[in-house]
A and B are shown apart, each in its own frame.
Chain A
């Protein structure tokens, strides 16, 4: 990279003023004349046959325009898509509104369309659905047991798919092992809870034959393709716009029933149609994350060298697949080597249907599960061997010179220096002093715990060969006649701040003022193609496309300048946005001046096309692998089970940093969500599949007061995978934090003989564990 000014600078988010002052336009802020509104009657049962539906009374209600059942539209709208190349995958028919049967609480059954939202909602109360309740199963382990209720009659075993991975001499590893440590691990279901729920607005123009669909989505381009297939419309007559999107965390990396349904209704009724999700619907029918129950086994030598790891896991799929449902648990498999040299690894996944909402990608998507398994097991193994957590980790790290480091799971970690991040975190935390304090406090009956997580994750998704629908990204840079720079990106930021960071990249490349650059995203008719924002890919893949496009623009400008100066392009200097002839610094033109020449096109080199713009599609050669160390210090009160976080240190390495403020923000938000999983978040269904955490009065999200002060620091190990050297940071905080917090709480409770606690670490669980045994006398540390 050239010497830079903007890249690496703490530039404030340019997005924030409009967000903070309420001037942004989310789906619900887009008002079209004559719009109809939709409310959806949803199943109150986890499993039931639909015997009959009576809609006449609703239809007669003033303001009600249409009442639509699943049976009426089953042949008109395609099935909700799932992207997977797993040959064992079983795909139940997933209609946009239930046909004959409902399989989870919240499944859409009838849509009421009315002149306003109130009339639409009132209409739902007048619809009579006669259900015949069926036995339901919500626990994935029970769903596998003989005699379980069957969710889809084609597959009486409730198995949705199987997936396995086996590399290295596992049998040998377990035979040779000094010890084998086993642990059952539960990754509870979580609700992503973006602050803006989903929402869809659709408009069909019969003259132009164009369907425009505004959706709160992370993937407008993929949605456009899928929507055209679902609605059997030519793809070049479909336009998808992701306006301002209020967070996603993976939950909007999907194609949902309502997107197909609302698009269809706009076509059918020939009026704009809008549906805005309520928070209860959001918890019921927007995908959930995690949902794995597994058994991990680690074979280890006496000196702490890990020989092998085996993880058998049941993945709780829910009743149907959403877009990437079957693709998430295998990501756990791929990352099971963690940041360690583990010569033999095996994983077996059984995806299981349950009478619940589908699981899919939620911030981290499979990697938090892997990191949790590996980091929890490292502590378990250390405890069994009488080693310290730091010691066992250092023992098994690959050395910096071993990169690219090939794992038994078939990945090649691009670059890394795991020791450096760990050492920096230990120093920042004052680790040795903390251990002494822990010993002292234990002798006073106070329980301090220190937890580590030395994670590695997989980002920048990814090489197209490894992705279900392309892993490249599109970028374009155009210098307008007036010198302003328009940047188009195929990624779809929804809070990440790339309107700022991409402008920083372009500002440096073209030497243009940041205020002269605008970054446009999210409209398939403005940005010709793209994949979207997920998998911490936007900057590493999309940012690189922008960087390459800017590079092309610069080279074209150089040719034009050389032509105008009658000089050789090689004889031009480029500095601060200005080309000048070497040795004649006064003779020069800025890129912005050249843009006008390029558009006037009177004095261009022969055969050169007018205009000053370029596009680039970047196809990454590999994933990237950010890493780091999180250290959490807690105090646990055995009498009440309360956990207080006393200190939190995170050293993250996401490669080269474009904007430290954005990176810190991502880490902070990620830690908040990781903390939520560790301590209190959980989607709870009862055994009959009723959702018990259906509002934020029962589903506990972390709040500002729950967060400790975060000591954030970085190491910077650039990736060789892209010219920017950036790895990605959107999910690192979530991935790194959860095991650090759980390890800290378990460490605090060692005197009580505790070796493991399943998340969330709610006070009652901790209290119960502390009841079973009198605390051992302080021996200090472990």
Chain B
């Protein structure tokens, strides 16, 4: 558990960090909370020549509201998200999801930007990011862009991030009106990562579902938005048929992961069960009163 030699720099401005990235190319790695990167480095599975520590760059951390959006700095820790009163009120899906990441130590150090950039296929936060239709601000050397969560993840631990780009902010909507959210997961017993995790956000008007987001993690090589499931429920009246709705489409087109912790068929099965349950839970939390059966 001893890493290969590397250089360590701690820039104080974003420009400097981006310049360092540009100058060092593939040999550089950004260091945020370090809870994914450092184990890889210690096992020499990753051997960056230079670590660029982002922790001293001001303005990359914190949670604030701007109109009907909440802006979360990329260096905001899971604990800060979990305990944010603003998020608990305006976007409770994020605190609920953050609370289920790893353990206290991981949540105290791990950051939202680091988790998203690492793109572990079983990380928790991506499910919520996708369900909420969140957007990521990617800052590069010449320009910056906002990208939707669903367009951000490309494949196993692969994202659209260019070598000189840094995630600087994440933007989620302030949820208003009548809504319900839920994140449910079956954790992998050893690591705490999701074997399958499903995040749901549902908006309710006049007892109908006027918007829904379903984000799934753990099932495939990348987290994804279960659009087939969303499509079936979008605009539908919320009744027993709605909450009993078949979630069997959730793994449509997905090649489920298969490892010693869960086979592909079991993961697909769990995705259906947890999608179904997460939708039920979100409906319940939206306070929709259901006639007795």
Contact = CB atoms under 8 A, between A and B. Distances in A.
Interface of A: 39, 117-118, 121-122, 125, 278-280, 639-640, 642, 680, 684, 692-693, 695-701, 762-764, 767-768
B260 A640 contact: no
A764 B189 CA distance: 12
Q: What 4 A-B pairs have minimum CB-CB distances, sorted nearest first?
A: A700-B189, A700-B190, A121-B2, A697-B191
B4 A122 contact: yes
Contact of A763 (B39, B186, B260): B186
Contact of A640 (B4, B188, B263, B270): B270
| Residue from B4, B5, B186, B190 with most neighbouring chain A CB atoms (10 Å) | B190
Contacts of A122: 4-5
A670 B186 CA distance: 26
A125 B273 CA distance: 46
Contacts of A117: 2
A125 B260 CA distance: 29
B262 interface: yes
Given A122-B4, A693-B190, 10 more contacts: A39-B2, A118-B2, A698-B190, A698-B191, A699-B190, A700-B188, A763-B186, A763-B266, A764-B262, A764-B266
Contacts of B269: 767
B1 to A, nearest CB: 5
B43 interface: yes
A676 B233 CA distance: 41
Interface SS of chain A: helix, strand, loop or mixed?
Answer: loop
Contacts of B191: 697-698
Interface of B: 1-2, 4-5, 39, 43-44, 186, 188-191, 260-263, 266, 269-270, 273
| Residue from A278, A699, A701, A763 with most neighbouring chain B CB atoms (10 Å) | A763
23 contacts: A118-B5, A121-B2, A122-B4, A125-B4, A278-B1, A279-B1, A280-B1, A280-B43, A693-B190, A693-B260, A695-B43, A696-B190, A697-B190, A697-B191, A698-B190, A698-B191, A700-B189, A762-B261, A763-B186, A764-B262, A764-B266, A767-B269, A768-B266
Contacts of B273: 639-640
A764 B263 contact: yes
Contacts of A640: 186, 270, 273
B186 A642 contact: yes
Contact of B260 (A278, A695, A698): A698
A432 to B, nearest CB: 34
Contacts of B266: 763-764, 767-768
B186 A701 contact: no
A677 to B, nearest CB: 13
A569 to B, nearest CB: 62
A692 B260 contact: yes
Contacts of B262: 763-764
Contacts of B2: 39, 117-118, 121
A463 to B, nearest CB: 41
B186 A680 contact: no
B189 A680 contact: yes
A118 B1 CA distance: 10
A681 to B, nearest CB: 9
B172 to A, nearest CB: 29
Nearest to B269: A767
Contacts of A684: 260
A278 B266 CA distance: 33
Nearest to B189: A700
A767 to B, nearest CB: 6
A46 to B, nearest CB: 17
Contacts of B186: 640, 642, 763
A768 B186 CA distance: 16
A209 B290 CA distance: 85
Nearest to A697: B191
Contacts of A767: 266, 269
B98 to A, nearest CB: 17
A84 B266 CA distance: 45
Nearest to B274: A640
B193 to A, nearest CB: 8
A122 B4 CA distance: 7
A698 B2 CA distance: 20
A642 B269 CA distance: 13
A412 to B, nearest CB: 42
Contacts of B260: 684, 692-693, 698
A38 to B, nearest CB: 12
Nearest to A694: B43
A122 B43 CA distance: 12
A251 to B, nearest CB: 19
A768 B269 CA distance: 11
A684 B5 CA distance: 32
A485 to B, nearest CB: 42
Nearest to B272: A639
A278 B3 CA distance: 13
Contacts of A762: 189, 261
A429 to B, nearest CB: 26
A670 to B, nearest CB: 20
A279 B188 CA distance: 20
B259 to A, nearest CB: 8
Contacts of B261: 698, 762
A528 B1 CA distance: 38
A632 to B, nearest CB: 18
Contacts of B43: 280, 695
A692 B259 CA distance: 10
Contacts of A121: 2
A701 B4 contact: no
B188 to A, nearest CB: 8
| Residue from B1, B186, B273 with most neighbouring chain A CB atoms (10 Å) | B1
B270 A701 contact: no
A701 B5 contact: no
B275 to A, nearest CB: 13
A552 B2 CA distance: 53
A693 B188 CA distance: 13
B1 A701 contact: no
| Residue from B39, B261, B270, B273 with most neighbouring chain A CB atoms (10 Å) | B261
Contacts of A699: 190
| Residue from B2, B260, B262, B270 with most neighbouring chain A CB atoms (10 Å) | B2
B120 to A, nearest CB: 11
Contacts of A39: 2
Nearest to A764: B266
A699 B260 CA distance: 10
A130 B51 CA distance: 33
Contacts of A280: 1, 43
Nearest to B43: A280
Contacts of B188: 700
Contacts of B190: 680, 693, 696-701
A125 B47 CA distance: 12
Contacts of A279: 1
Nearest to A696: B190
Contacts of A693: 190, 260
Nearest to A684: B260
B37 to A, nearest CB: 14
Contacts of B1: 278-280
A764 B269 CA distance: 10
A763 B263 CA distance: 11
Nearest to A706: B189
A269 B191 CA distance: 42
Contacts of A125: 4, 44
Nearest to A768: B266
B118 to A, nearest CB: 14
A661 B269 CA distance: 45
A701 to B, nearest CB: 7
Contacts of A768: 266
A125 B5 CA distance: 12
A344 B4 CA distance: 61
B147 to A, nearest CB: 30
A700 B186 CA distance: 14
A642 B39 CA distance: 29
